[in-house]
Structure 1
Amino acid sequence: MGFFYNKTVMEKAGLDPDKPPLTAEDYISALDTLKGKGIAGHWASPFQFTGGMSVYQLVTQFGGSLFSEDAGRATWAEEPGVKAMQWWLDLVKKGYSPAKVAQDADFIAFQNDKTAFNWNGIWSLNTLAENTKVKWGVAAMPQIGEKKAVWANSHQFTLPVHKKPDDNKVEASKTFVNWVSQHSLEWAKGGQIPARNKVREESGFKALTGQATLAEQLDYVVFPPAVPGIGDALTEFYTAVNTVMLGGKDVGATLKAAAGRADKILAANKKKYA
């Protein structure tokens, strides 16, 4: 994810449009300034895209994780998870965000100069670049908790196992994947960060200022555990975020109930995919 800031809205509120707030203290101070000007500075989405992903990274920033080290149980109901969810909910409670934000309404409001800050995926770079009406900038994710962390995911090529392997096809597939990796600057232009280190060191990639800026976060990205069926359990987390933000349910109780359901899913998947 990346931190997108609307320079027009920041200027309107008297904030420096070239100095986005990157610490917890500065972030809340900026939101207070915006609120004083009648501007809801950060619309908090209740949906997975992008509210759930935002809370996901906040859990890690507050020193926790969504799952135990072996991914055998959900841990988002522990103190870091409660802090993260409460911080996101407080954006609404403290008047920094409207309540019950619709899907993608946060990003639309950002482009219409109705809000100053938006946490969104790197895929937003090209959308914003094509919108000549909005003045914006992008920075690494603000550090709200005890440490830096940013939600991330990835795309993979998969070489399936066949009942009757064909060595020639396998080698051809490997050659193709390697070629794509070597030429993944084109992938970056589509609004992504190449996995290949050498490509990220190329001048062509560094010229993509938005992608290059967000690539600086690679040392502290947070990926879902590499466990079969983990998405089934993650759905319970995203549902809990949605329930808290839209239903006004207790943070701790909602996260605990969701974690309990996720634990059953994790146990079932362990048997299923063992």
Structure 2
Amino acid sequence: MELKYWAPFSGGDGDFMKELVTKFNSSHEDIQVEILNLKAEEYYTKLQTSIVSNQAPDIAIAHASKLSELTEGGLIHEIGDVAKEAGIDWSTYSENILNATVLDGKNYAVPLDTHALILYANETLVQEAGLVGAEGKLELEGGQEGFMKTLQDLKGKLPEGVFPVAATSNGDSPLRIWWTLYSQMNGKLLSDDAKTAAFNNEQGKQALVYMNQMVNEDLWPKNTKNGGEIFTANKGALMFNGGWMTGSMEQNENLKFIALPIPQLFDRKATWGDSHTFVLPIQKSQDAAKQAAALKFADWVASNAGVWAQAGHVPSKPAVVNSDEFKALKYRSDYVEIADYVSYMPNSPKITAVQDIFKKHLNVMMNGQATPEETLERAEKEINELLAK
């Protein structure tokens, strides 16, 4: 049985996934998978077009954040019954990660990982600043005031031209940082029925004020186009970025770094995250045997995701996380706990548009052209207009 499999992976991600497909094919004579990697920026458009034109692949990758959009459009299958046929045991998956793939009590995807926001530290710079303990662990003061004090102390100790925080200051990065801080205060993005914005409140404001303070005190420089480049050039002490940076950064011989979860600054541990998941696209004529084979492949990849973890992602199965293969990888075990409390944005078919609006207004604030209060009010108004349509 031959299965067509589409994915949006490039670079190291693409190489690791191809390796997994090759291993699956060599160990399964009855099922052979052919992978097609598409450019990420074109991926969802091409996937949707293929489904509408009855040329869809048998299995495809979709982000957990896209599932509501895909189900609303009638583009992917509910997979509960097929998963049983394929022998999938949902109890072998991280409950928190799995929950992000369940909509209205129904399973729509097999989760492969979580890729979430974590904190990186330049080991050389923070050591020189006295922030590394005897065991080589980063020692940060606790809570919102403690972390801010750490940044302020760093500013006074770092060489000229080196920043306490290296993080991209427009687009996805500020939104993910805000969502992390807001989630630590149990904040909600949308109302329970997803028909109105629910973030223009004291917690939403407090998270933005915290970010604004970093920018205003020049702890996190304005107009930072690529925080990753600054950090890898040894010009940033700390960096907020995705765990997916780990795989590429450890190849950099000129960079010594530490990776760990975002500290708990507010009421609880939380961090922004998303997941790569496997979905079954709608096809003109459904082949039940092919669907079961596709989910067997998905479950096999999730069960053998030690290879995938090399990219920096946290696998969705605790058994993989507890394996010797995973533990042998440097850095990953230092932030693997995020799987238990990664905070996903709510399921809504309009979530991409909601995020785009929020990012637009957040960019203005990050450039010093709007207050936190103005940012929340403008974003709330525009998002409510969108959700009312």
Compare 143-152 and 209-218 and name the one that shifted more.
209-218
What's 1:94 paired with?
217
Contact 1:74 1:259 in 2 (8 A): yes
Contact 2:131 2:140 in 1 (8 A): no
Give the ranges of 4+ consecutive aligned residues of structure 1 lying more than 3 Å apart after TM superposition: none
Compare 219-228 and 120-129 and name the one that shifted more.
219-228
The structure with the greater share of residues assigned to strand is 2
**Does residue 28 of structure 1 match 2:148?**
yes
Counterpart among 138, 145, 162 of residue 19 in structure 1: 138
What's 1:59 paired with?
182
Q: Distance in 2 between matches of 1:185 and 1:142?
A: 26
Compare 63-72 and 125-134 and name the one that shifted more.
63-72
Structure 2 unpaired stretches of 5+:
1-116
Counterpart among 106, 113, 118 of residue 234 in structure 2: 113
Q: Distance in 1 between matches of 2:208 and 2:167?
A: 11
What's 2:46 paired with?
none
Cα drift, residue 22 of structure 1: 5.7
Contact 1:233 1:263 in 2 (8 A): no
Identity over the aligned pairs, expressed in percent?
A: 28
Show the 5 A alignment for 1:71-82.
71-82=194-205
Instruction: Describe the SS at the equivalent of 2:309.
Output: helix
**Does residue 146 of structure 1 match 2:267?**
yes
Show the 5 A alignment for 1:172-183.
172-183=293-304
What's 1:271 paired with?
none
Cα drift, residue 82 of structure 1: 0.9
Q: Distance in 2 between matches of 1:203 and 1:145?
A: 34
What's 1:37 paired with?
157
Q: Distance in 1 between matches of 2:368 and 2:375?
A: 10
Contact 1:62 1:83 in 2 (8 A): no
Cα drift, residue 44 of structure 1: 4.8
**Does residue 3 of structure 1 match 2:119?**
yes
Please identify the structure whose Cα radius of gyration is greater: 2
Q: Distance in 2 between matches of 1:22 and 1:175?
A: 46
Structure 1 unpaired stretches of 5+:
269-274
Aligned pair count?
Answer: 266
What's 1:260 paired with?
381
Distance 1:142 1:213, change over 3 A: same
Compare 115-124 and 137-146 and name the one that shifted more.
137-146
Q: Distance in 1 between matches of 2:339 and 2:183?
A: 15
Q: Distance in 2 between matches of 1:148 and 1:211?
A: 18
Distance 1:14 1:190, change over 3 A: closer
Q: Distance in 2 between matches of 1:173 and 1:79?
A: 46
| TM-score (normalised: structure 1) | 0.89
Contact 2:121 2:237 in 1 (8 A): yes
Compare 205-214 and 149-158 and name the one that shifted more.
205-214
Query: Which one-letter code corresponds to 1:109 in the other structure?
Result: I
